[in-house]
Structure 1
Amino acid sequence: MDFTLPPALEDYRTRVRAFVSQEILPIEADRANWDEHENIAEAPLALLRAKAKAAGLWALQMPRELGGQGLPFVGLAACYEEMNRSIFGPVCFNAAAPDDGNMRVLNQVGTDAQKKRWLMPIINGDVRSAFAMTEPHPGGGSDPSMIRTKAERKGDRWVITGHKWFITGADAAQHFILMARTSDDPRKGLTAFLFDRDQPGWRIERRIPIMGPEEHGGHCELIFDGLEVADENVLMGVGDGLKVTQIRLGPARLTHCMRWTGLAKRSLEIAGDYVKERRSFGTTLAEHEGVQWLLGEAAMQIEIARLLTMRAAAELDRGHFARKEVSMAKVQVAETLGKAVDTAIQLCGARGYSRDTVLEWIYRYARQARLVDGASEVHKMVLSRAYLQEGDGFWDWS
């Protein structure tokens, strides 16, 4: 079993790593480049995005004929990990959520006309996008069958009413994918609609304050009170909304994992540099056995997380849904990210708790990992069902 990257993918990985080191980390280090929501400000972001395009590192996940680089999931796993060595990395390469997942599903199931209208502006970096699915109770969250937002047919239009919340990126998005109910059929009752920010019939009720730093556009509550969408802006077909969510969310969960392993490694990198330098009781902290236990455990858990992520990526590249593999990676990486940054803060002491490093940023950000795109408990339910169905086949090597 060979985990060596093919030369072409290794070349991309090393170039992404060098770009992060030489271009992004110096920008990150100067807080004047941060916006009020603790993300990279628009002016330095635009500069870095232009450089990433010039370097041939733009939109690695998209086909070459659409302006991307056409990398397989295995290559993306290696490159996305390197991107998120910086807290600002993925967005500079057009690889950040939710645009990453939205581009992928639009490319996979959109018509040629939909790709031209809705996808290409996101690939080009001209607009941002959002995926509007989650609703307040008693609406849908991890269980999309509970979605209550309705789309009703009126003439040649669909008229949408409902309520969404925690919609990532909505405050900065121009293009939206919206999940709404078009019938009571348990399997064919949902439909995915495309709409533009400038259309009437909806509004952002509020940008919801959160514990951690925010993605561009925050996490918003949306009200739909008569949004009209034409048939040409139905994604796939009427009643295919559940398929759209399945096609989008599986790979999107895994790309989260790819990025989070980069943050976990960055956390340990900061701690490792500090304990090799800081002296206590006559030796460096790195020479203390207790410190070694903490570092060794965190490093091992990160490697387990990386291997599970790469296994799931390889399954996706083989054309499989990889539900089991993605769920295992999602649980492991989410928990590992929290453990890695917590360990790093402990080893760095007051310096880690301060804002002299980005550890406190990563710590606050990391807590969402066990919630977004399915809580860890939901993924463990998926794994339990798979085991009960497969028995010993759960561990099959094929």
Structure 2
Amino acid sequence: MDFTLSPEIEDIRLRVRAFIEEHVLPLESDPENFADYENIPHERLQPVREKAKAAGLWAPQSPKEYGGMGLPVGAWPAIYEEAARSIFGPLAIHCMAPDDGNMNVLAKVGTPAQKEKWLRPIVEGKVRSAFAMTEPSPGSGSDPGMMLTRAEKKNDRYVVRGRKWFITGAEGAAHFILMARTSDDARRGLTAFLFHKDQPGWRIVRRIPIMGPEEHGGHCELEFDGLEIPFENVLMGEGDGLKVTQIRLGPARLTHCMRWLGFSKRCMEIAQEYVAHREGFGIKLADRESVQIKLGEVAHQIQIGRLLTMHAAWKLQQGSRARKEVSMAKIQVANTLHNAADVAIQLNGARGYSKDTILEWVYRYARSARLVDGADEVHKMVLARFMREEGRDFWKWG
């Protein structure tokens, strides 16, 4: 495998880098650009998103016919990483979760009519979306087989009843992908549905307070009490919900890693800039061996994460589900992000703990990385299962 970028992708990467530098990074320096939930308000973000569209740097993952750039998954790591030099960057070029994963799965498995109705408005940035799967205990979390929300057939539609929670972006979303149980079959008991926020039969119970910062639309608890969904809004087919979940979550986990690597590199950038000029006891921090060791360790871990992420993306582009590779990347990069923010704060001292930099923002955000889309422990269990099943072939070259 060769991770050298083609001239076309390298040109896009450099254009994204320049765009983030010129139009997005300045937004972070102004406290007025942070809304109540510590993200950028829509009215301040929208002009930058329009500039991204005009520059041809919009929705890199989505098909060109729907308004995206149509880039192959192997090109995403370089582009997403550059976008995430700013905490607002992925939003600015439209590659931020949960829209990112929803656009990807709709492009892959939606019918032409579903793509026109549900995908195109998301790609164009006219609506936001959410993916509703996680439930309160004893319902489904990392194990979708525990799902309790049910959709029962009634004439020409399904009627949904149940609860979901920690649904990212739900308060600001118009288009939803909903997972619900349609039978008790272990493999084909779940079905994926599409619904619009204005349909009756459901409500947002609350926006759940979190450690933060938050994505647009928060993390919400939802209640379904008779939501009616016509047959044409089933994604794939009845009983294909687990397959839809797998198709969505593999790439979605990996794009998280791509963005987290950008955030990790930014933490190191802030740390290096500070230690290069800050002196203590007659010596610059950058000249202290203890500081150099800290920075070198994080640089090492970031590069390991990049290689794992690029390898997983390469596998996906070859048509593999890359389950092992995605889990490896997810574990490595989530922990690297947390460590990068921690080290950068430590080296910046009180400045890092304050809101004078984005380090404390990234630090709080980073703690969720080891939980979202499968906790560290779940991904380690996945790797252990593969190793048990494959033996020495777990490390095969092919």
Q: Common fold, TM-score beyond 0.5? A: yes
Query: Aligned partner of 1:361: which letter?
Result: W
1:29-108 alignment runs, 5 A limit? 29-108=29-108
Supply the distance in 2 between the matched residues of 1:320 and 1:357 (Cα, whole angstroms): 40
Give 3-state SS (helix, strand or coil) of 2:212's partner: coil
**How big is the shift at 1:2?**
3.5
1:64-213 alignment runs, 5 A limit? 64-213=64-213
1:344 and 2:344 equivalent? yes
Query: Aligned partner of 1:172: which letter?
Result: G
Residue in structure 2 matched with residue 359 of structure 1 by the alignment:
359
Supply the distance in 2 between the matched residues of 1:394 and 1:113 (Cα, whole angstroms): 41
User: Cα deviations across residues 92-112 of structure 1 (Å, max 9, x unaligned)?
Assistant: 111010000001111111111
Residue in structure 2 matched with residue 15 of structure 1 by the alignment:
15
Supply the distance in 2 between the matched residues of 1:186 and 1:5 (Cα, whole angstroms): 42
**How big is the shift at 1:242?**
0.5
**How big is the shift at 1:285?**
0.3
Residue in structure 2 matched with residue 258 of structure 1 by the alignment:
258
User: Cα deviations across residues 229-271 of structure 1 (Å, max 9, x unaligned)?
Assistant: 0000000001110000000000000000000000000001000
Residue in structure 2 matched with residue 289 of structure 1 by the alignment:
289
TM-score normalised over the length of structure 2: 0.99
**How big is the shift at 1:376?**
0.5
User: Cα deviations across residues 314-343 of structure 1 (Å, max 9, x unaligned)?
Assistant: 000111000000000000000000001100
**How big is the shift at 1:374?**
0.3
User: Cα deviations across residues 27-56 of structure 1 (Å, max 9, x unaligned)?
Assistant: 121111111111011112100100000000
Supply the distance in 1 between the matched residues of 2:259 and 2:269 (Cα, whole angstroms): 15
**How big is the shift at 1:157?**
1.3
Give 3-state SS (helix, strand or coil) of 2:347's partner: helix
Supply the distance in 1 between the matched residues of 2:250 and 2:114 (Cα, whole angstroms): 22
TM-score normalised over the length of structure 1: 0.99
Supply the distance in 1 between the matched residues of 2:227 and 2:323 (Cα, whole angstroms): 34
1:222 and 2:237 equivalent? no
Give 3-state SS (helix, strand or coil) of 1:277's partner: coil
**How big is the shift at 1:67?**
1.3
Give 3-state SS (helix, strand or coil) of 1:293's partner: helix
Query: Aligned partner of 1:295: which letter?
Result: L
Supply the distance in 1 between the matched residues of 2:211 and 2:96 (Cα, whole angstroms): 20
1:228-243 alignment runs, 5 A limit? 228-243=228-243
Query: Aligned partner of 2:320: which letter?
Result: H
1:334 and 2:334 equivalent? yes
User: Cα deviations across residues 55-81 of structure 1 (Å, max 9, x unaligned)?
Assistant: 000011011122111111221100101
User: Cα deviations across residues 84-134 of structure 1 (Å, max 9, x unaligned)?
Assistant: 110111011110100000011111111111011100000000000000000
Query: Aligned partner of 1:67: which letter?
Result: G
Query: Aligned partner of 1:51: which letter?
Result: K
User: Cα deviations across residues 265-286 of structure 1 (Å, max 9, x unaligned)?
Assistant: 0001000000001011111100
Give 3-state SS (helix, strand or coil) of 1:171's partner: helix
Give 3-state SS (helix, strand or coil) of 1:319's partner: coil
**How big is the shift at 1:390?**
1.4
Structure 1's unaligned 5+ residue stretches are none
Identity %: 67
Supply the distance in 2 between the matched residues of 1:291 and 1:34 (Cα, whole angstroms): 32
The RMSD of aligned alpha carbons is: 0.7
1:373-392 alignment runs, 5 A limit? 373-392=373-392
Supply the distance in 2 between the matched residues of 1:393 and 1:292 (Cα, whole angstroms): 38
**How big is the shift at 1:155?**
1.0
Residue in structure 1 matched with residue 245 of structure 2 by the alignment:
245
**How big is the shift at 1:394?**
1.3
Supply the distance in 1 between the matched residues of 2:337 and 2:301 (Cα, whole angstroms): 9
Supply the distance in 1 between the matched residues of 2:376 and 2:291 (Cα, whole angstroms): 29
Query: Aligned partner of 1:75: which letter?
Result: A
